[in-house]
Amino acid sequence: MKAAADHLASVTLELGGKSPAIIDSNANLKDSAKRVAFGKFLNNGQTCIAPDYVLVEDKIKEPFLQELKKSVAALFGQDGVVDETSPSYSRIVKCEEFSRLNTYYRTPSKKGQRLN
């Protein structure tokens, strides 16, 4: 902002906050799952509006997860299975980045994260 102000240039700042998706028992699970899947996987999640996490009521957790799996498969696969060769499926193109991200996936955080 300082550099832009010195030159009277307009600027847009990316604040990079967290974007939760909240799903309660009144939600249409199919529509909610489609929207969460689209928002999260658009450009491999690299958009400022991509949901970072989903808060779901316990009693609808499993049905929501099933709908979410169907929605992801519908975006990137066939017959309920994600096709990793799909041209619509984004990829990590650097081996170093893949290794770094895979370490995060394989090592739960100290904050109580669980891998299911």
**3-state DSSP assignment of residue 82:** strand
Which two structure tokens, joined as six digits, stand for 115?
Answer: 């891998």
Q: Any catalytic annotation for residue 48?
A: yes
Q: Any catalytic annotation for residue 97?
A: no
CA gap 51, 42 in Å, rounded: 10
Which one of 14, 84, 95, 96 is the catalytic residue?
14
Which one of 48, 84, 95, 96 is the catalytic residue?
48
Contact predicate 36/69, CB 8 Å: no
Q: Which residues are catalytic?
A: 14, 48
